[in-house]
Amino acid sequence: MKYPDMFRVEPGTKVKLSQMEAGDTGDNRDEAAAQDELGRLTKRLAELQYLLYAESKRSFLIVLQAMDAGGKDGTVRHVIGSMNPQNATVQPFKVPSVEEMAHDYLWRVHKVTPATGQVVVFNRSHYEDVLVVRVHDLVPKEIWSERYDEINAFEKLLSDNGTHIIKFFLHIDKKEQLARFKQRLEDPTKQWKISESDYKEREFWDDYQKAYEAAISKCSTEDAPWYVIPANHKWFRNLVVSRILVKTLESMDMQFPQPTVSIEEIRRQYHVAVEESR
Ligand code: ADP
């Protein structure tokens, strides 16, 4: 299969993350060339977002998941930062509040899905409810194991109602995570990002990888595919995510709406008005 489609998880595939190369850079050995292409792609992304907004028939949901220090924030900044913030928002998902905990786990999610014409990026998502929740037994297995089907049904509902969904797992390896933690410890502008819990969660690396494999394998569907992005190299991650976003938005065949007024008539009248005011 051809790049970047090769990073798409076909429905029914059983994903094994250890067999997927987090340090892959495909045929792209040259970071400088990648930056040029990235510049063109982000410009194109902004145009496509404008078209989505103009058409205002469909919406676009991007789900970003990764291990700690996996690059969610960087992806938001580099790739999605080019979009007009009026119609593109980023929605983080933290530990649920008391009110959120008093509802079903999709309650807080459904409320913040994109309206027509809008792009919403989930920085973490409803998948936390089969990731951190599963790894730390926050609910019994009988409950979380039902959630894959529930999530598929929820995403189908969104998709049937005009929301395009695309899900990215930013795949780094364990060594790269440690290197990024170390960088954070050493860089005074990044120290605020590091917490003890990052190191504690790292001890559960294998459990998280297993939980990700289950979520990606069970919930990559035609309507809402998962992509596993090699993310050790930030520039390659940005390039691949941008290419996939542009390709997906282009495949939606969006059209500018027809004007609701007669342009000819307005031109004629305006021209007349200009002539008259002279
Ligand atoms: P981030 O790491 O995304 O930049 P934080 O450092 O604030 O942001 O981490 C958010 C935390 O919220 C993560 O530890 C994540 O596992 C947790 N979290 C998100 N959703 C849930 C959930 N449904 N249940 C429990 N914890 C959750």
Q: What is the pLDDT of residues 174-186, one digit of tens each?
A: 999 999 999 999 9
Q: What are the pLDDT digits (tens) for 200-250? A: 999 999 999 999 999 999 999 999 999 999 999 999 999 999 999 999 999
Confidence of residue 275 (pLDDT cuts 50, 70, 90): low
User: Is residue 201 lining ligand 1, measured as CB closer than 6 Å?
Assistant: no
Domains of the chain: which residue ranges? 4-277
pLDDT at residue 130 in the model: 98
pLDDT in tens, 133-152: 999 999 999 999 999 999 99
Distance (Å) of CA 39 to CA 60, 74, 246? 21, 15, 12
pLDDT tier at 270, thresholds 50, 70, 90: confident
Atom of ligand 1 nearest to the CA of 132: 16
Regarding the beta carbon of 132 and ligand 1, being less than 6 Å apart is answered: yes
Q: How far apart are CA 273 and CA 278, in angstroms?
A: 9
Distance (Å) from CA 92 to ligand 1 centroid: 9
Q: Does ligand 1 have an atom closer than 6 angstroms to the CB of 133?
A: yes
138 Cα: distance to centroid of ligand 1 (angstroms)? 13
Distance 197 CA to ligand 1 centre (A): 11
Whether residue 1 is predicted with pLDDT greater than 60 in this model: the reply is no
Q: What is the pLDDT of residue 272?
A: 64
pLDDT confidence bin for 271, thresholds 50/70/90:
confident
At 171, is the pLDDT very low, low, confident or very high (cuts 50, 70, 90)?
very high
pLDDT reported for residue 2 = 63
94 CA distance to ligand 1 middle (Å)? 4
Nearest residue to 248 (alpha-carbon basis) of 122, 176, 184, 163: 163
**Domain 4-277 class?**
alpha beta
- Crossing angle, helix 234-251 and helix 31-55, to 10 degrees? 30
CB of 106 sitting under 6 A from ligand 1: no
In this structure, the residue with its CA closest to atom 13 of ligand 1 is 94
Q: Is the CB of 122 under 6 A from ligand 1?
A: no
Report which ligand 1 atom has the smallest distance to the Cα of 201: 14
| Cβ 233 vs Cβ 23: under 8 Å | yes
